Amino acid sequence: MNQRVLDNRYELQELIGGGGMADVYKAKDLLLDRPVAVKILHEQFKRDTEFIEKFHREAQAAAKLSHPNIVNIYDVGVMEEDHYIVMEYVPGSTLKDLIKEQGHLQPAAALRVARDIASALAHAHANNLVHCDIKPHNILMMPDGSAKVADFGIARAVTESTMTYTGNVVGSVHYFSPEQAKGTMITPRSDVYALGVVLYEMLTGQLPFNGETPVSIAMKHLQEQPLSVRQLDSSIPPVVEAIVSRMMSKDPNMRPSSRELVQDISQAMQMLGGGFAPAVSDPYATQVLPRVQESAVAPRSERYTANYDDEEPENEKAVFKSKKFIVGLTMVLIMGFFVGAFLSFGKFWSNSEVEVPDVTGKQMTLAKQILEDKRLRVKVDEEFDAEVPAGMVISQNPEGGAKVKEERLVTIKVSKGGENIEMPDVRGLKRADAIAKLEKMGLKVGRVTERNSDDEEAGVIIASDPRAGTKVTKGLSIDLVVSKGKKEKKAAVPDVTGLPIESARKALGNAGFKVGGVEKKASKQAAGTVISQSPSGGVDAVAGESVHLVVAEAGKETEEKNSKPAAGSSKETTTAPKPNESSKSR
C-alpha cells in the first residue's frame, strides 16, 4: 500500500497506526504540499453497503466540526473500493502511550486532559454528532500537553449499522457504556460514560473492568460497580472521585451532559489549584439518593385543592375586573421592574464595587469562573463568528475595567464559530470571478497556486480545497489552484539547411514544429533549397513553434551568369589589355 497515490493527490508514505476497522497512514497532500493522515477501511467493510453509506455520511458530518481539541477532517473519498478519510496529521503520541509511560497521571494533569476531551465532545454533541468510541487510543497528545480527539464518524457508522460482524462485538468493550453493551440507543451521555472510564484509567493506571472475554467485560459494565478511584489511590481528592462516579453512572440520566462536565471539571481544577485538602468533605460530591416514586408525591394541584374540589368561584370574570386585582397587578409590575433593575445593576444598598475583569478572547467556562470569582453574575449569548474560535468570548458588557457594584449582570457573547454553508463549485471560473463568488458567500481566499492543465486555459480555476459540496464555515480561507495552461514541451529544432523546401517542411513537422515565414534570396545553391533557418538547427524550442526559412530563389543565379561578358565578344576586343595581361600574352 505504501507509495500508492489516492485520487492522484494523497501519496501514502508509511503505516502509523491501525485498529479493528481501519489502517492509518501518514501521507502527503500533493496538491497543497502538506502532511496529512489517511485512514483506509479494512477489507471486510468494502462491500457492506449500509456501513459504507453511513461511513461517508458521518465523515462528512464530522468535517463540519471546528474545534481546537478535535482533529480536523479534510476529505473523504473512495478509490478502487478503498474508502478513506483524510485528516489533520498530528505528530506525537496517544493518551494510551502517555498512561503506559507514566503509569498514571496526577489528578490535575488528568483533569486538564479530561476537560479538553469534554470540551471537544460538547462541541460535537451541539452539532448532533456522537463519537461512540472514546478511548485513550483515540486521544492524540500535543507537545503543549493539550489533547485532540480523533476518529469522529467511523464509530457512529458502526453503531448505526450492525453491532456484530462475524459474531463479535465491534468497538472497545473496556470503554463501552452499559447502553452500548446492550445494543440499545446511543446518546451523547454514552460518550460521557466512556470519558469517565478514560479518566478512571488516567488517575489509577488501570481499567475499571477486566475479564477473560469481551462478553464478560460488557456484563460487568451492565451489572457491577467498579472500585472507587480513592480505594485504589487515597491521595485522589474526593471531588475528583465524585466526578468519575457521576460520569460512570449506569443510568444515563444521572450522568452530566458534556457541557455540564466541562463546568464540573473546571470547578474541580480551581479547587485543586486553591490548595484543596483531600480530607475535607466535598460539598459538590455526588450523593446516592433513592429514586423518588411518582406515587409517593401528590401532584401540586392535588395537594393544594384536595379540600376544595367542590368549591367553584362564583364570578371568576368579576375578579379580574375588580380594582383590587388591577392595583395588585400594577404593584407586581412595578416590583418586577425594580427587581429587574437590581438584577442588572447589582445591589442598590451595597457600597462594594468591583472592577470587571476583561475576559474577551478567553474560553467561556474560564471567563464565567473569572467573573463569578469577582461576585458578578454572568449571562451567555452565543452568535456565529468566523474570526473567533467556537467557545471563546467575543465581547462583554460591561467592558473590562469598568467599576460596577457586586452582583451586577455581565453579558458575554460567545462564538459559535463560523456559520456552516456548502462549499460552492468554482472550477471552470476565471480567477477573478471565483474570488468574487467566494467573497459574496462570506468565504476568504487563502493560498493560490498555479499548475499546468491540458483541459483548462490559463487563469481558470481547476481545483479548490475544501472541495465543492463539502460543509465549510463562513470566514474560512479557501485554497485555489489556477491553471497555467498546457505545459510547454521543448525539443531540439532539426537542421534543415541544404534540404529542398518540401523536405524541410516534412522534417520540421515530424519533430513537432511548423514552417513560419519563407524568405527567398539569391544564392549559388539550387533553387528551392533552404539556405538558413531561425531558430537554428539543434536549438531547444517550444514544441509547435514556427521556424523561419530562407530559400534560394529560382532564376537569380542564371541572370547573374548571363550578365557577365562572353569570351571573344566585341566589347572584350575594344578593351585595352591590362599591363600584366599583356605581359602574360607575350
Active site residues: 133
Element (H, E) at 195: helix 188-204
Give residues with Cβ within 8 angstroms of 586, minimum separation 6: none
Angle at the Cα of 151 (from 32 to 420), degrees rounded to 5? Answer: 65
Q: How far apart are CA 402 and CA 420, in angstroms?
A: 35
User: 569 and 575 in contact (C-beta within 8 Å)?
Assistant: no
Strands 22-29, 490-492: pairing is unpaired
C-alpha cell recorded at residue 69: 481539541
Joined together, the cell numbers standing for residue 12 give 501514502
| Integer angstrom CA distances of residue 56 from 59, 156, 312, 505 | 5, 11, 63, 57
Cell 460521557 belongs to residue: 192
C-alpha cell at position 264: 464540573
Q: Which amino acid is at 514?
A: K
Burial (CB count within 10 angstroms: exposed 0-12, middle 13-18, buried 19+), residue 242: buried
Which DSSP string do the residues of 504-522 spell out, in sequence order? HHHHHHHTT-EEEEEEEE-
CA atoms within 13 A on the CB side of 372: 13
The values of phi and psi at residue 194, to 5°, are -60, -40
Contact by Cβ (8 Å): 136, 198: yes
Q: Classify 4 as helix, strand or coil.
A: coil
DSSP state of 235: T
- 530-534: strand order across its sheet: 514-521, 546-552, 530-534
Q: Residue 353: in which H helix or E strand, if any?
A: strand 353-355
**CA dist., res. 413 & res. 360, Å (int):** 9
Q: Give the span between the Cα atoms of 419 and 421, in whole angstroms.
A: 6
